[in-house]
Amino acid sequence: MTQRIEAPAVRRYVADADAVLPELPGRAGAPPPGGTAVLRRVHWDLDDSELARAGITVAVTGEGKAARWDVTFPAALSQLDFSVASPETGVPSKVLDRVRVHVRDRDLGRVADLVLRRREVTLPGPDGVLRVRDDAVEPVDTDGGGWREWTVEAHPDPAADGGPGDGDGDSDSDGRAAGELLNTIEGLLVAAGASPGGPAERLVRQAEGGTAVPETPSDTDTPIGAVLAPVFSTLTAELKAWDLRVRVDEEDAVHQLRVRSRTLRSVLKTYGKLLDEAAARDVEDRLQRLGHALAAARDADVIRGWVTESVKALPDGSVPAHVARRLQRTAAAQYRQAYGELLEELNSPDYFRLLTVLDGFAVRLPLAVGPEGRSARKAIRRAVKRQQRKVLKLVDAAAGEEDAAARIHLLHDVRKRSKRLRYAIRSVSAATGFDFGRKLEAVLTTAEDIQDALGVHRDSIMFQEFVATTARGAHRSGANTFSYGVLHQAEAPRQDAAAAAYREAAERLRRG
């Protein structure tokens, strides 16, 4: 089931070794309770420190039955932080699965052996307590190079949870108060010299002898490369970030990963004449394979949402509860199957190879022999206008098609081409600030309107097909299927409205 990932209850900070934990709210003048615990922590990474360079750490604290593995991500992805107890001597598969987009089929090795001298402080919170860990970190095998880590964890008070139906308390108010307290503490820690985030940067410095090695510069020595190389670099980084979210089934993650995959394909399709043909085709083929798995999961996810919304949109009693439950169960089962198949694809050698090739594109873009010295502005704008003409050609074909089924197929092609046009403009503009000019920016807006209108139209038809298929199954079991017909017919006005919005946007694109 898709998870709604809430705001993190843990915040991490790193400071220099001589930093001192400041006085915190609720603790003024009181010494930390208890003594200092001495712990051993071992970090694991790839040979090139790729995880640490991505702001990710994989570490085990303790040994044997007391061992606990932790995966920490950059602040922007801290909701994905993961912890599991495991006595395994190697990295557990549950841990590897969380970082597979970076690790792929390679092995992690021990990269740092650390000693932690830990003291803990407990502070009162609005709906529980805050536990602050103060860790003095020292490498075992090297002199110096230590640092300090401060971790703030929010722990709700179980006694304060009245459970379902308990009207006492205001969870929203408590949540806001807890957030304000965490922000106050963060301000104090930053003032004391801390930076938000985990120790990844420190580990890179340690691995490189104290100085972090800068990333390999992208291939920006030509006008075309200066525009397109940052696009591939940005999109590849975004694809990896959403891959991490998909693996925990975060809400909307499948959709966002699909958008990045489609955007990469749109860039390849639109600007393909500027790239080496064989290299571009190889990446496009691999992205298409990924796209099939993403499409199945995304379509199933869309159907789940439409079941709920469509039933609610009808008058009470129009769809009996048992019919709604059957639709929901069927949609959920389809999503579970599609999501499982997607995970298989994300763990496949083909997908790992795609990631490796995209990493190479971000470093040295394989340009075609001819366009290296050409004006980027002219070449990029010409490619976009070529896509615009292709969209208009399909619009005209759909308008002149009398067969309903063939027209729906053509409209789907219009939507895909409009999406490609939109992504081709937006990706370059977002990554580089490239100025397409006022007219092409207007084309971007119109392409989005076409995509949105036809997206609703397609999803509505897809939902009708799902309802019809489910109704046939219900009929075979002897159930009354009248309410399925009600749901099916209710989509007609929505499709009419979407078609009207599409025609208006298509006319604007023709004028532009």
Q: What digits encode the pLDDT tens for the residues 424-456? A: 999 999 999 998 989 988 999 999 999 999 999
Strands 37-45 and 82-85: unpaired
Query: pLDDT tens digit string along 453-474?
Result: 999 999 999 999 999 999 999 9
Name the residue with tokens 């017919």. 489
**Has residue 219 got a pLDDT over 70?**
no
Q: What pLDDT is attached to residue 212?
A: 44
- Going along 76-167, which residue ranges are E strands? 82-85, 109-125, 128-139, 147-156
Average pLDDT over residues 468-487: 95
| CA atoms within 13 A of residue 337's CA, in its CB half-sphere | 9
**Has residue 480 got a pLDDT over 80?**
yes
**Secondary structure (3-state) at 124:** strand
CA dihedral 505, 498, 295, 240 (to 10 degrees): 50
Q: What pLDDT is attached to residue 47?
A: 92
Tell me the C-alpha to C-alpha distance, in Å, between residue 202 and each of 112, 138, 439, 505: 11, 11, 47, 52
| Separation CA 349–CA 488 (nearest Å) | 41
| Separation CA 350–CA 356 (nearest Å) | 10
Confidence of residue 225 (pLDDT cuts 50, 70, 90): confident
Helix residue ranges, H only, 192-276: 200-207, 223-246, 253-270
Q: What pLDDT is attached to residue 213?
A: 44
Tell me the C-alpha to C-alpha distance, in Å, between residue 410 and each of 46, 446, 452, 460: 47, 18, 16, 16
| Separation CA 444–CA 436 (nearest Å) | 10
**Has residue 92 got a pLDDT over 80?**
yes
Burial 334-344 (b: 16+ CB within 10 A, else e): bbeebbeebbe
Task: Decide if 230 contacts 218 (C-beta within 8 A).
Answer: yes
Quote the percentage of the chain above a pLDDT of 70.
89
Q: What pLDDT is attached to residue 209?
A: 61
**Has residue 370 got a pLDDT over 80?**
no
Average pLDDT over residues 400-426: 94
Confidence of residue 311 (pLDDT cuts 50, 70, 90): very high
DSSP-derived secondary structure letter, 250:
B
- Report the predicted TM-score, pTM, of the whole model to 2 decimal places: 0.86
CATH 2.40.320 domain position(s) in the chain: 10-207
Lowest mean pLDDT among 96-100, 170-174, 193-197, 279-283: 170-174
Task: Decide if 464 contacts 444 (C-beta within 8 A).
Answer: no
Average pLDDT over residues 286-299: 97
Q: What pLDDT is attached to residue 32?
A: 54
**Has residue 190 got a pLDDT over 60?**
yes
Q: What are phi and psi of 153, to 5 degrees?
A: -120, 130
**Has residue 281 got a pLDDT over 60?**
yes
In this structure, the chain runs to a length of 512
Q: What pLDDT is attached to residue 220?
A: 44
CATH 1.40.20.10 domain position(s) in the chain: 223-511
Query: pLDDT tens digit string along 374-402?
Result: 678 889 999 999 999 999 999 999 999 99
Domain 10-207: give its CATH code.
2.40.320
Q: What pLDDT is attached to residue 203?
A: 86
Lowest mean pLDDT among 92-106, 138-152, 197-211: 197-211
Q: What pLDDT is attached to residue 66?
A: 86
Instruction: Name which of 219, 218, 498 is nearest 367 in CA terms.
Output: 219
Lowest mean pLDDT among 118-127, 173-182, 277-286: 173-182
Instruction: Name which of 136, 130, 177 is nearest 154 in CA terms.
Output: 130
Average pLDDT value for the chain: 88
Q: What are phi and psi of 202, to 5 degrees?
A: -65, -40
Average pLDDT over residues 71-82: 87
Average pLDDT over residues 291-306: 96
| Separation CA 77–CA 10 (nearest Å) | 12
Task: Decide if 361 contacts 340 (C-beta within 8 A).
Answer: no
CA dihedral 318, 319, 320, 326 (to 10 degrees): 180
- The CATH number of 223-511, from 1.10.1060.10, 3.30.920.30, 1.40.20.10, 3.40.1800.10, is 1.40.20.10
